[in-house]
Each structure stands twice: as structure tokens, then as C-alpha cells.
């Protein structure tokens, strides 16, 4: 029997309309009278139907680290969170730095992905920053190039990478971090670090490399994307660069928009790179969303084993999971509080990343009950990773169904 969604709020072309919808197991159709044809009435009245989300920054850990996450588990977790397209970062083993190494990941994606999965290729061999990867050989099969997890330290190396990416029509997506400014830090160099005796990561370690890259981009003219910005200085630099015509976009993560270092606890689930910054940084990021400086939201979904995340702030691995909590956290923390319109949030999570990265595959749909209220329980995650700073938080928004490629890739029980 068909499933009917009656009086659904449907997002189309940047706005919402109330319509009826019928899902026949393969196709979601919108009708003026969805009750025709003897369809069965869905349990889900007055749902919200959105285009499938797109995350341009995730880690699925395969090949090389399948004990943390696999393509199968990661893509299923993504579907649970309403995502129908993701772009996987290349810090793998082997790293996708040649067509031969990339092929191992492509084979896993073809065999196991539940949704559209687009891999990045590395900028340098093994992400070591010493010699360039085979960008030309990988270009037909990668979404963009990145050495995510490491900043490219050498100016000449980044310049040449940008020139090659420009010739290939590809984006350079940069993890911006100056190694000489890290000084052994692992959380933000702010009040919490000083009060609790932790080593801090200064904001300059991020924005200083963004400043360098923007100067290079202005000279070369390549497409440039900044990963996971976290500081007010980064927002200001990118805002000014856009005003001067530089071809730059950027992303930030849900945790940077609703948390800051005042929320830190002595727990590895609060450790990520870049770290949670100050309240002033968080406010600048929200302002950047509202004025268009920040183009999209990406989770930087980075699963680790329970042991790797159980060693406190100082010794736990960097990274938290986010695909299954992103929309509920942002809907609760920004939309319900009147900070961000729902239409804008959907654009940041679906329309904008697809447009920038040229992802033209059918977005499909995700169906949400925005009135559903619950506590975040990592034990219900489909990801193999469980470390989230939102564990135990109360959020609104439950994904009831995700449809992609004529299939139901996730459905609530």
C-alpha cells in the first residue's frame, strides 16, 4: 500500500508550501488530493519534507581504519540523519593520492554505500606535504582535493596545487592550520584551558593560513573552499575576500554554532580539531551564517573507537560524530530560538553545498517530525562512533524516512 503524508510542509525552491504527498515505495509524488486511489493513511500527519542533505566533509575511515567506521555504517548513519550525499575526506590508508590507491576506496563505495558518496583526493602524497599527488590522474573520480587533517605548510606547494586544480576545474578544500603555532595544544587557548591547566590551540593557527591561502587564490584564481572555520578572524578574512571578488567558500560545523569553550567538560567527546572556541567566536560564526559569509554547514563527522575517545581532553583522539545529530541540534539551537529561518538552514545543509561542489545527483527527500522531542542517546546511533558533545541534550526533530535513488534508505521504526 502507498504511504500518505497529509498536509506536509514541503520545501521547494527556497520556501515551504503545504501539500499532500504519496510514497509508493519508490517515488514520492505530490498531489492536490493525496487520499485518492485507496492509499493507506500514514501515521505521520503534518510532517516536513526536505531535500536530502549534503555534507561535504565526513570521514568514513575505509580503507585502513574500518574499526572506526566503514562506508556501509557511515552511509547508513548519514541516511539516518537525512543525508543523501556526502564527500569523504582522504586521510585513509592508503590515502587516495594516486588512481590506484583511490580505486580501493571507490570499490568499497560502489559495493557498500547506501547514499551518494563522493571521495576527495589528496593534495600531497600521503598528506605529508612533501610532493604533490597525482591530481590529474584522480580528477575524473574525485569531488575535490584536500589534505584534511593537516594544513599544507609550504607556500610553494600550495601555490602549485592551486594552479593544477584550476587547470582541472577542481576545488582546493583546505584544512587551515599552521603547525608552528600549535605548540602541543589540544583545546582552544581560552579561559577553560587556562583555568584547568590544558595546553591551548591559538586562533592564529587557523586564520593565519587562511590569510595566506586567500592571498594565493587572489593571484591564481582557483576555486577555494575553507574547511571547518571556527574563529572570528576567519569569518572576517573570508568576508573581506568575498567582497574583493575572491572565489572562496567556507563551511562550519554544528558544534561551533551552538557550543563554545564554556561548555567543555573533562571528556574526550568534547575534543575536536579545530576546537570549540570562545563565545565571541561562536557569535561571529552565527553572524557569518546570517550575512552569507559562511556558505554551508558540514559535520566533519569523525568517528573513533570508544577506547580512543575515553582518554580525556589531553589524550583522546581528535574528532566527534555528527551526521545523526546535525539537523536536530541546529533546528533546536538556531531555528526554534528564532536565530535562523528554517529555509536558510535547509539551504545551508542541501542547496548550497550541492551548488558549490557541482553535485547534480537527485537529492531525494528526508521526512521529519519537527515536534518530536527526545534526548540524544549515542547508543541509538548507526555510526560506529559514539563520541558526541550533544549526548544527553534534549533536541527536537526526528527523521522518519530518507528516500534516495527510488529507495527508502532509512525509515524510523
Whether 26 and 166 map to the same domain: the answer is: no
Q: Give the end of a domain, one of 320, 339, 364.
A: 364
Structure pTM?
0.96
Q: How deeply is 211 buried, as exposed, middle or buried, from its count of CB atoms within 10 A (0-12, 13-18, 19+)?
A: middle
* Rounded Cα gap, residues 114 and 78, in angstroms: 9
Q: Where are the alpha helices (DSSP H) in 311-378?
A: 312-315, 326-330, 342-346, 352-357
Report the first-to-last Cα separation within the chain, whole angstroms: 17
Q: Is residue 268 part of a domain?
A: yes
Catalytic residues: 300
Question: What's the CA gap between 316 and 310, in Å, rounded?
Answer: 6
CB-based burial, 108-147: b 16+ in 10 Å, e otherwise? bbeebbbbbbbbbbbbbbbbebeebbbbeebbeebbbbbb
Q: Are residues 15 and 142 in the same domain?
A: no
Same domain, 159 and 287: yes
Residues 42 and 150 in one domain: no
**Same domain, residue pair 222 and 272:** yes
The pLDDT tens digits along the chain (413 residues) read: 678 888 899 999 899 999 988 888 778 888 654 444 444 555 567 899 999 999 999 999 999 999 999 999 999 999 999 999 999 999 999 999 999 999 999 999 999 999 999 999 999 999 999 999 999 999 999 999 999 999 999 999 999 999 999 999 999 999 999 999 999 999 999 999 999 999 999 999 999 999 999 999 999 999 999 999 999 999 999 999 999 999 999 999 999 999 999 999 999 999 999 999 999 999 999 999 999 999 999 999 999 999 999 999 999 999 999 999 999 999 999 999 999 999 999 999 999 999 999 999 999 999 999 999 999 999 999 999 999 999 999 999 999 999 999 899 999 98
User: What are the DSSP E strand ranges found in 81-134?
Assistant: 83-88, 116-119
Rounded Cα–Cα distance for residues 94 and 102 (Å): 8
Residue 333 lies in a domain: yes
Q: Do 98 and 130 fall within a single domain? A: yes
Are residues 336 and 397 in contact, defined by beta-carbon separation less than 8 angstroms? no
Would 164 be classed as within a structural domain? Answer: yes
Q: What is the pLDDT of residues 369-397, one digit of tens each?
A: 999 999 999 999 999 999 999 999 999 99
Domain edge (last residue) among 364, 386, 406: 364
Q: Would you state the cell numbers that stand for residue 387, as one nine-digit string?
A: 563520541
Based on the domain organization, do 25 and 169 belong to the same domain? no
338 and 260 in a common domain: yes
Q: Do both 22 and 163 map to the same domain?
A: no
Whether the CB-CB separation of 52 and 82 falls below 8 Å is answered with yes
Domain match, 39 and 57 both: no
Query: Do 66 and 177 sit in the same domain of this protein?
Result: yes
| Domain count of the fold of the chain | 2
Residues 85-137 pLDDT 10s = 999 999 999 999 999 999 999 999 999 999 999 999 999 999 999 999 999 99
Note whether 257 and 311 are same-domain residues: yes
Residue 288 inside a domain? The answer is yes
Question: What pLDDT does residue 35 have?
Answer: 47
* Residue-level pLDDT at 142: 98
- Whether 82 maps to a domain, the answer reads yes
Q: Which domain holds residue 140?
A: 52-364
Amino acid at each position: 500500500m502507498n504511504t500518505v503524508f497529509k498536509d506536509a510542509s514541503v520545501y521547494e525552491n527556497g520556501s515551504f508550501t503545504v501539500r499532500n504527498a504519496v510514497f509508493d515505495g519508490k517515488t514520492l509524488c505530490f498531489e492536490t488530493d493525496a487520499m485518492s486511489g485507496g492509499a493507506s493513511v500514514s501515521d505521520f500527519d503534518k510532517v516536513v519534507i526536505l531535500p536530502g542533505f549534503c555534507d561535504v566533509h565526513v570521514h568514513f575511515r575505509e580503507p585502513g581504519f574500518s574499526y572506526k567506521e566503514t562506508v556501509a555504517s557511515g552511509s547508513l548513519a548519514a541516511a539516518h540523519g537525512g543525508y543523501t550525499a556526502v564527500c569523504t575526506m582522504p586521510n585513509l590508508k592508503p590515502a587516495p593520492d594516486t588512481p590506484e590507491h583511490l580505486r580501493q576506496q571507490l570499490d568499497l563505495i560502489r559495493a557498500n554505500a547506501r547514499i551518494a558518496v563522493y571521495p576527495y583526493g589528496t593534495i600531497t602524497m600521503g598528506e605529508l606535504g612533501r610532493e604533490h599527488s597525482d591530481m590529474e590522474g584522480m580528477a575524473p573520480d574525485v569531488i575535490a582535493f584536500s589534505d584534511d587533517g593537516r594544513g599544507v605548510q609550504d607556500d610553494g606547494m600550495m601555490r602549485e596545487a592551486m594552479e593544477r586544480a584550476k587547470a582541472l576545474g577542481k576545488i582546493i578544500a583546505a584544512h587551515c592550520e599552521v603547525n608552528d603555532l600549535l605548540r602541543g595544544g589540544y583545546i582552544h587557548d581560552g579561559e577553560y584551558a587556562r583555568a584547568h591547566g590544558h595546553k591551548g590551540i591559538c586562533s592564529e593557527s587557523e586564520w593565519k593560513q587562511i590569510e595566506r591561502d586567500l592571498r594565493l587564490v587572489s593571484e591564481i584564481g582557483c576555486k577555494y573552499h575553507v574547511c571547518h572555520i571556527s574563529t572570528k578572524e576567519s569569518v572576517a578574512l573570508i568576508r573581506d575576500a568575498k567582497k574583493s571578488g575572491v572565489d572562496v567558500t567556507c563551511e562550519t560545523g554544528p558544534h561551533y554554532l551552538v557550543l563554545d569553550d564554556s561548555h567543555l567538560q573533562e571528556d574526550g567527546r568534547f575534543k575536536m580539531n579545530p576546537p570549540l572556541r570562545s563565545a565571541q567566536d561562536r557569535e561571529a560564526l552565527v553572524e557569518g551564517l546570517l550575512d552569507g559569509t559562511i556558505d554551508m554547514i558540514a559535520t566533519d563527522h569523525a568517528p573513533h573507537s570508544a577506547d580512543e575517545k575515553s582518554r580525556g581532553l589531553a589524550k583522546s583522539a581528535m574528532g566527534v560524530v555528527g551526521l545523526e545529530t546535525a539537523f536536530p541540534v541546529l533546528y533546536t539551537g538556531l531555528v526554534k530560538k528564532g536565530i535562523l529561518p528554517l529555509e536558510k538552514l535547509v539551504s545551508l545543509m542541501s542547496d548550497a553545498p550541492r551548488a558549490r561542489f557541482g553535485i547534480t545527483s537527485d537529492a531525494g527527500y528526508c521526512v521529519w517530525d519537527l515536534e518530536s522531542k527526545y534526548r540524544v542517546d549515542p547508543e541509538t546511533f548507526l555510526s560506529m562512533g559514539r563520541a558526541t558533545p550533544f549526548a544527553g541534550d534534549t533536541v527536537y526533530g526526528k527523521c522518519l524516512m530518507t528516500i534516495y535513488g527510488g529507495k527508502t534508505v532509512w525509515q524510523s521504526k
